[in-house]
Amino acid sequence: MATLGDLGVGAGINILSALIFFLVFAFLRLQPLNDRVYFPKWYFKGLRESPIPSGAFVRKFVNLDFRSYLRFLDWMPAALRMPEPELIDHAGLDSAVYLRIYLIGLKIFVPIAFLAWAVLVPVNYTNITLDLEKIKNVTSSDIDKLSISNIPDKSPRLFSHIVMAYVFTVWTCYVLLKEYEIVANMRLHFLATEERRPDQYTVLVRNVPPDSDESTSELVEHFFLVNHPDHYLTHQVVYNANSLAKLVKKKKKMLNWLVYYQNKLSRSKTATRPLRKTGFLGLWGKKVDAIEHYKTEIEKLTDQIAKEKERVAHDPKSIMPAAFVSFKTQWGAAVCAQTQQSRNPTIWLTEWAPEPRDVYWPNMAVPYVQLTVKRLIMGVAFFFLTFFFMIPIAIVQSFASLEGIEKAAPFLKPIVEAKFIKSVIAGFLPGIALKLFLIFLPTILMIMAKFEGYPSKSSLERRAASRYYLFSLVNVFLGSIITGTAFEQLESFIHQSATDIPKTIGVAIPMKATFFITYIMVDGWAGIAAEILMLKPLIIYHLKNSFLVKTDKDREEAMDPGSIGFNTGEPRIQLYVLLGLVYATVTPTLLPFIIIFFGLAYVVFRHQIINVYKQEYESAAAFWPDVHGRIITALIISQLLLFGLLSTKKAAQSTPFLIALPVLTLWFHRYCKGRFEPAFKTFPLQEAMMKDTLEQARDPNLNLKGYLQSAYIHPVFKECGDEEDNESLEKSETESVIVATKRQSRRNTPAPSRMTGGSSPSMRDVELAQP
């Protein structure tokens, strides 16, 4: 059980770690060679040039302007200086709204912390319930005397906690209401004013029914000519090009190795050509000339790619029952995306198409009928992952304590009993142990989301974030409380009567706040400070720059700034929101640690979004309903836990007053869902018509078909295409001919196709069409 002194040592270690990270970052970001690592976003925009000066050799590597080192914290006010509208133009709405989640944390918890410390802390501290001479079986520390555990059973003082629970709930709901309204208006304004994008005119159609008389491409065109005759423009069927993509990726890897060995030869002072072994990873096998080896391998892959492309072009099985269908107007796309297309609700399923860079192409080849089975399998797998993960977490946490270390290694007892070592173990080790244990979890959850077949990167990240939050709720929060109570109060459970065990648990749950404080300091203080250092991208960039970079384009590709990482960042925020709401009325001591996290994270991530991160997609803040729903969930959990805790305090007269809180919170959530969520699920037809009118006035001669016809072609075809294919594509797509059909009856088609030719864009056409 950590004491105030132990937490002070832990805070000192983490503050010192964060300061070291900031100092190292301040030094590294000023060095000319690191400029592309710490300011890549400006390079991608073409607004920054390399600061490497000519002249002295040392100046090319080291910044000798010592005055710049005195202003090592200047990046903080610089990160706060950019106004939000400019930030949206610079980084996109997703990034700007993501930062607002940190602001919500500050808006919620700063007033709550002030009230909790002004009202609840004095009420809790002026009791002697946790006097160890009276309750010898329950371990506690000085910090627990500031919690609700220090209030005796049936005490009238418990009414103050109930009143504060109401105040905290009302304030949290008020902040959520205002933020939901602000973000909804930001989204609608962004959609109404953003520049033309292919997804504004395009719908993703899935589960196209098979037809023995027509190909998938012909069937899609006929269906939309019949049912959307005035608005249908063109379409692009989806192909299973995953095997082709693997070959292209392998060829890129071989080209990188070829460049590496060519650079190595050119920089060598001797004429000796580099060698490599032909075995696995070059570890064994016959030694051969590395450059000739990779040239030969690249030639083989080039032939394989050509054959695979030919196979995809002529194999009907390569065409999936899905297509991207584009319309002449945004109004027509909105109508199609938001309505049911057939009397059978399981076919011709339509949804807004992701923007082209948001499409996750490997999952586009997954048949729609398999998605339900895949998601069921992953649901079961996630269930076992969540609940079986609790066992190793409990073991790790038991050993990451003073008692656990002494039990596992008795010979270390003299060392760990030393005052400073003891404080480090109690105030630092539990948090870092849990942090390290969860390091591979985001990767596992993303793999599971990809297996489920979600069609876009944004939906993959939202799915992974949802499961990460659920995992954190069950294992990190509930698991830590349950296992911590079981291990720390084991002696009480053994020697107490059964009727006293709920009381012991009720007293022990608030005591677990010390563990969460250590976790917040490790993950939320030092962890956030480490984020700005970007050690991994820094090392990778310099390795690539040293061995692979030959041109400016190569150097640009070596920059890998990453993105905001919604699938990991947002669940972490929600865990801290949950901890803050749960412990606001139970142990207010935790609140200042959370406030420091939100303030520090807001500044750090604002800097990263402005200067570093290159967002892979733009969803126009489509994730906000998930954020709102998780905060509501945290609020309800905090109310239920307080209700259960007061029941162990035998507060029969005061506890019933809490029953109304979850009901009112659910009613508030339902109101917000009905009032604001439609802005994130549908696009108003009125807004679509206004945008169409403006587009027509702004560019009346726009060749929309030419703009859209290649927007959703699989990227792998573009990578392995050639100029002749592009010319063939443009020629075939601009010709206007009648769609052929093998149907004996054309009763369902009111008129010949006015859009494309004697054979609708089939895979044979697309073979030539890939740019």
Angle between helices 368-399 and 480-488 (to 10 degrees): 30
Q: Quick one: DSSP state of residue 343?
A: S
Mean pLDDT value of segment 436-440: 78
Mean pLDDT value of segment 230-249: 91
Round to whole Å and give the CA distance between 276 and 60: 34
pLDDT at 395: 65
Over the Cα atoms of the chain, what is R_g? Answer: 31
pLDDT at 159: 86
Higher local confidence (pLDDT), 466 or 282? 466
Asked if residue 530 has pLDDT above 70, the reply is: yes
Confidence of residue 6 (pLDDT cuts 50, 70, 90): low
Q: pLDDT tens across 310-361, in order?
A: 888 788 888 889 999 999 999 999 999 999 999 999 899 999 999 999 999 9
**Cβ atoms of residues 79 and 612 within 8 Å:** no
pLDDT at 693: 92
SS3 category, 564: coil
Q: Among 636, 730, 623, which residue's Cα sits nearest to residue 681?
A: 623
> Helices then strands (H, E): number in the chain?
38, 6
Higher local confidence (pLDDT), 59 or 564? 564
**pLDDT > 70: what percent of the chain?**
79
Asked if residue 75 has pLDDT above 90, the reply is: no
Round to whole Å and give the CA distance between 173 and 176: 5
pLDDT at 70: 73
Q: pLDDT tens across 53-73, in order?
A: 655 556 666 777 777 777 777
Round to whole Å and give the CA distance between 63 and 31: 5
Higher local confidence (pLDDT), 767 or 741? 741
Spatial neighbors of 210 by CB under 8 A, at least 6 apart, are: 321
Reading phi first (left if > 0) and then psi (alpha if -120 to 50, else beta), residue 364 is in alpha
Spatial neighbors of 759 by CB under 8 A, at least 6 apart, are: 218, 739, 740, 765
Mean pLDDT value of segment 457-469: 94
Round to whole Å and give the CA distance between 511 and 485: 9
Q: Among 719, 714, 733, 727, which residue's Cα sits nearest to residue 312?
A: 714
Mean pLDDT value of segment 693-704: 89
Round to whole Å and give the CA distance between 415 and 421: 7
pLDDT at 421: 65
Confidence of residue 736 (pLDDT cuts 50, 70, 90): very low
SS3 category, 233: strand
**Cβ atoms of residues 12 and 4 within 8 Å:** no
Angle between helices 624-648 and 566-583 (to 10 degrees): 30
Confidence of residue 662 (pLDDT cuts 50, 70, 90): very high
pLDDT at 464: 94
Q: How many CB atoms lie within 10 A of CB 117?
A: 15
Which range, 29-38, 45-54, 645-654, is most confident? 29-38
pLDDT at 1: 52
pLDDT at 420: 59
Give alpha helix (H) positions in 241-339. Answer: 242-267, 290-314, 330-337
CA torsion through residues 17, 568, 554, 304, sign = positive
SS3 category, 278: coil
**Cβ atoms of residues 255 and 298 within 8 Å:** yes
Exposure of 693 in the CB half-sphere (CA atoms within 13 A): 7
Q: Among 272, 658, 202, which residue's Cα sits nearest to residue 456?
A: 202
Least confident of 571-575, 661-665, 731-735, 752-756: 731-735
Higher local confidence (pLDDT), 575 or 439? 575
Reading phi first (left if > 0) and then psi (alpha if -120 to 50, else beta), residue 453 is in left
SS3 category, 202: strand
Higher local confidence (pLDDT), 132 or 151? 151
What's the chain's average pLDDT? Answer: 81
Amino acid letter at 340?
Q
* Three-class SS of 355-424: CHHHECHHHHCCCHHHHHHHHHHHHHHHHHHHHHHHHHHHHHHHHCCHHHHHHHCHHHHHHHCCHHHHHH
Residue written as token pair 């607004």: 47
Round to whole Å and give the CA distance between 603 and 61: 28
Size of the chain, expressed as the number of residues it contains: 771
Mean pLDDT value of segment 275-292: 79
Mean pLDDT value of segment 78-83: 91
Which helix (H) or strand (E) segment holds residue 500: the answer is: none
Higher local confidence (pLDDT), 641 or 59? 641
Confidence of residue 406 (pLDDT cuts 50, 70, 90): low
Confidence of residue 468 (pLDDT cuts 50, 70, 90): very high
Per the structure block, which two tokens stand in for 520? 């917040």
Q: How many CB atoms lie within 10 A of CB 183?
A: 24
Confidence of residue 407 (pLDDT cuts 50, 70, 90): low
Higher local confidence (pLDDT), 720 or 685? 685
Round to whole Å and give the CA distance between 570 and 552: 35
Confidence of residue 152 (pLDDT cuts 50, 70, 90): confident
**pLDDT > 90: what percent of the chain?**
37
C-beta contacts of 7-12 below 8 A and 24+ residues apart = 7/143, 7/427, 7/514, 7/517, 7/518, 8/423, 8/427, 9/420, 9/423, 9/424, 9/427, 9/428, 10/423, 10/424, 10/426, 10/427, 10/428, 10/431, 10/517, 10/518, 10/521, 11/427, 11/521
pLDDT at 34: 87
Mean pLDDT value of segment 93-98: 95
Confidence of residue 267 (pLDDT cuts 50, 70, 90): confident
**Cβ atoms of residues 459 and 468 within 8 Å:** no
Phi, psi of 82 (to 5 degrees): -70, 120
Round to whole Å and give the CA distance between 536 and 514: 31
Confidence of residue 148 (pLDDT cuts 50, 70, 90): confident
Q: pLDDT tens across 169-181, in order?
A: 999 999 999 999 9
Exposure string for 43-72, b = 16+ CB within 10 A, e = fewer: beeeeeeebeeeeeeeeeeebeeeeeeeee
Amino acid letter at 155?
S
Higher local confidence (pLDDT), 408 or 519? 519
* Three-class SS of 57-85: CHHHCCCCCHHHHCCCCCHHHHHHHCCHH
pLDDT at 342: 92
Per the structure block, which two tokens stand in for 744? 């004996």
Confidence of residue 467 (pLDDT cuts 50, 70, 90): very high
Q: pLDDT tens across 583-606, in order?
A: 999 889 899 999 999 999 999 999
